């Protein structure tokens, strides 16, 4: 008797738990989920329908009616988005009641609504939203996003329905077919706008829309409407169109007869070559323009410092170094003090000892003397930097700056037979090193800022 009571108590708890989740979904306005949770439970346990209390059954029926009225009101809205949400909600309710046979114990919805008519209304609303959206003038990414928004809700939901376990196989096939038709409708719309873009000679846009169509319907038919061939054709046209646009722009820019113009032309021709290798005579044009594009410069006066390397690095995109000053279009004269030094002082060593009680191998406490050393080391790195840079020739300008930095480190280390309480007390500091020290000092001296300004001056030529 006790065992039977426990089983009944467990069953009551399960029912209460399931209905509680459905109630929570209802309270959170997750109406479709609320219906799903209720029906899925009674579908698994059909014998519970007859045993459910009348007041609970009436409450379920009332909630179902409220949900239907909510979506019915939305479906009557003048706002197209709300209207679509309403009809989609009604269709989702229809589908759940259609899938779960136990729904007939709570509602006569299926006798009042026809699934095909609800779907037809959804298609009509989508078509109307598309017409009022003027998608033909939008970019492909926006068209794809908008159509996805219109169709994805129903496509995703009908896929979910076909994945519900233990439902009639004919129902699975039915909702798989609906999901497929919705995906096909979206793909056809994408292709329609792809054709519009192609006629307008916007080949890259047309390519992207066809790719989106293939992605949308490809799981059902891999080469839908010979999409692979179409995408390849459009890509070829789009590549040529973009490469030619860059090529023509490069030719026009070079007509400015400035070094800056030639450099821009070279970059455009390189981009054209990335799209189509050796496009037209772009290789020959790059070679021709390269002779005119870069400022010839010479550096003198600071050969024994790191400064020339920094100057060459910064000017690499706008200039070319020449070792002959007579060939230079810009002469760079510099005076530099650049002195890096490291001083390491003798270590201060302190001998230490401690007597402590420790356990020996036999587990007995014995006295042990620890003899160890405390070593303190000090190191200092310094960098004294100053510079004067004068540009002459095509550019006439002067720059100067200076900075000094000192970095001191102090290391502490315990050596020898070190007691356990000293473990982890070592403090090992490291020098920044010459490269990092130079970076910090050069930055403080505004050297990098001046180099950027020199680049800007040469870019104007």
Q: Which domain holds residue 371?
A: 296-459
352 within domain boundaries: yes
Shared domain check, 58 and 122: yes
pLDDT reported for residue 287: 94
Asked whether the beta carbons of 266 and 291 are under 8 A apart, the reply is: no
Domain boundary among 276, 293, 310: 293
Q: Count CA atoms closer than 13 A to 191's CA, side-chain side.
A: 18
318 and 275 share a domain?
Answer: no
Question: Residue 168 falls within a domain, yes or no?
Answer: yes
* In contact, 273 and 279? CB cutoff 8 Å: yes
Q: Where are the alpha helices (DSSP H) in 163-226?
A: 169-199, 203-217
Q: Are residues 187 and 273 in the same domain?
A: no
pLDDT < 50: residue spans in the chain? 1-14
Full DSSP string of 75-131:
HT-SSHHHHHHHHHHHHHHHHHHHH-GGGGGT--HHHH--HHHHHHHHHHHHHHHHH
- Count of domains observed in the chain: 3
pTM of this structure: 0.73
3 lies in some domain: no
228 in the same domain as 271 = no
Q: Write down the pLDDT at residue 421.
A: 86
Could you tell me if 175 and 209 lie in one domain?
yes
Per residue, what are the HEC states of 156-177?
A: HHHHHHHCCCCCCHHHHHHHHH
How far apart are alpha carbons 420 and 356 in whole angstroms?
A: 10
Beta carbons of 353 and 373 less than 8 angstroms apart: no
379 shares its domain with 289: no
Residue 162's pLDDT is 73
Which of 208, 238, 268 marks a domain boundary?
238
pLDDT tens-digit series, residues 197-256: 999 999 999 999 999 999 999 999 988 999 999 999 999 999 999 999 999 999 998 777
Structure tokens at 206: 């047309």
Model pLDDT, residue 100: 84
> Does residue 337 fall inside a structural domain?
yes
Q: Residue 275 falls within a domain, yes or no?
A: yes
**Cα angle, residue 254 at apex, residues 250 and 260 outer, rounded to 5°:** 105
Q: Which of 293, 308, 333 delimits the end of a domain?
A: 293
Residue 160 and residue 83 share a domain: yes
Residue 341 CB contacts under 8 Å (≥ 6 apart), including other chains: 381, 382, 383
- At residue 19, the pLDDT reads 73
Do 316 and 359 fall within a single domain?
Answer: yes
Tell me: do 307 and 447 sit in the same domain.
yes
Residues 161, 259, single domain; the answer is no
Q: HSE, CB side, 13 Å, CA atoms: give it for residue 411.
A: 16
In a domain, 10, yes or no: no
The DSSP secondary-structure symbol of 424 reads T
Determine the pLDDT at residue 245: 96
Residue 380 vs residues 182, 374, 385, 406: alpha-carbon distances, Å: 74, 20, 16, 7
| pLDDT attached to residue 16 | 58
Evaluate whether 445 touches 378 at the Cβ level (below 8 Å). Answer: no
The answer to whether residue 5 is domain-embedded is no
Cross-strand partners of 386? 337, 402
pLDDT value of position 21: 87
Residue 6 lies in a domain: no
Residues 72 and 202 in one domain: yes
Pairing of strands 295-300, 330-344: parallel
Element (H, E) at 343: strand 330-344
> Quick one: pLDDT at residue 20?
83
Residues 377 and 442 in one domain: yes
Q: To 5 degrees, how large is the angle CA 92–CA 93–CA 96?
A: 85
């Amino acid at each position: 008797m006790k065992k039977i009571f426990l089983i009944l108590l467990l069953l009551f708890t399960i029912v209460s738990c399931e209905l509680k989740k459905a109630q929570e979904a209802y309270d959170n306005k997750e109406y479709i989920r609320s219906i799903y949770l209720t029906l899925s439970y009674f579908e698994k346990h059909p014998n519970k329908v007859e045993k459910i209390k009348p007041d609970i059954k009436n409450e379920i029926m009332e909630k179902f009616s409220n949900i239907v009225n909510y979506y019915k009101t939305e479906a009557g809205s003048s706002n197209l988005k709300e209207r679509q949400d309403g009809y989609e909600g009604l269709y989702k309710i229809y589908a759940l009641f259609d899938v779960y046979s136990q729904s007939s114990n709570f509602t006569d919805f299926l006798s009042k609504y026809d699934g095909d008519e609800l779907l037809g209304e959804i298609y009509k609303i989508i078509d109307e939203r598309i017409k009022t959206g003027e998608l033909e003038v939008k970019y492909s990414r926006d068209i794809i996003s908008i159509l996805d928004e219109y169709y994805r809700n129903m496509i995703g939901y009908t896929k979910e329905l076909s994945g519900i376990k233990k439902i009639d196989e004919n129902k699975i096939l039915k909702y798989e077919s609906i999901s497929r038709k919705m995906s096909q409708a979206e793909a056809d719309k994408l292709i329609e706008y792809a054709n519009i873009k192609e006629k307008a000679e916007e080949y890259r846009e047309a390519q992207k829309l066809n790719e989106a169509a293939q992605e949308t319907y490809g799981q059902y038919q891999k080469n839908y409407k010979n999409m692979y061939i179409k995408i390849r054709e459009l890509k070829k046209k789009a590549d040529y169109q973009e490469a030619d646009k860059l090529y023509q722009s490069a030719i026009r820019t070079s007509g400015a007869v400035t070094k800056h113009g030639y450099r821009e032309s070279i970059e455009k021709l390189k981009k054209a070559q990335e799209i189509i290798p050796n496009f037209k005579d772009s290789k020959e044009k790059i070679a021709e323009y390269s002779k005119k594009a870069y400022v010839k410069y010479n550096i003198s006066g600071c050969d024994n410092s790191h400064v020339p390397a920094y100057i060459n690095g910064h000017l690499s995109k706008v200039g070319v170094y020449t070792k002959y000053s007579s060939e230079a279009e810009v002469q760079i004269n510099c005076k530099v003090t650049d002195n890096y030094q490291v001083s390491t002082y003798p270590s201060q060593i302190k001998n230490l000892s401690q007597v402590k009680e420790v356990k020996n191998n036999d587990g007995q406490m014995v006295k042990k003397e620890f003899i160890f050393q405390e070593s303190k080391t000090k190191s200092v790195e310094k960098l004294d930097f100053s510079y004067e840079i004068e540009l002459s020739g095509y550019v006439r300008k002067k720059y100067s700056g200076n900075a000094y930095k000192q970095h001191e480190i102090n290391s502490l280390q315990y050596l020898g037979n070190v007691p356990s309480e000293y473990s982890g007390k070592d403090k090992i500091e490291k020098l920044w090193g010459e490269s990092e020290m130079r970076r910090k000092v050069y930055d403080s001296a505004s050297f990098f800022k001046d180099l950027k300004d020199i680049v800007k001056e040469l870019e104007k030529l």
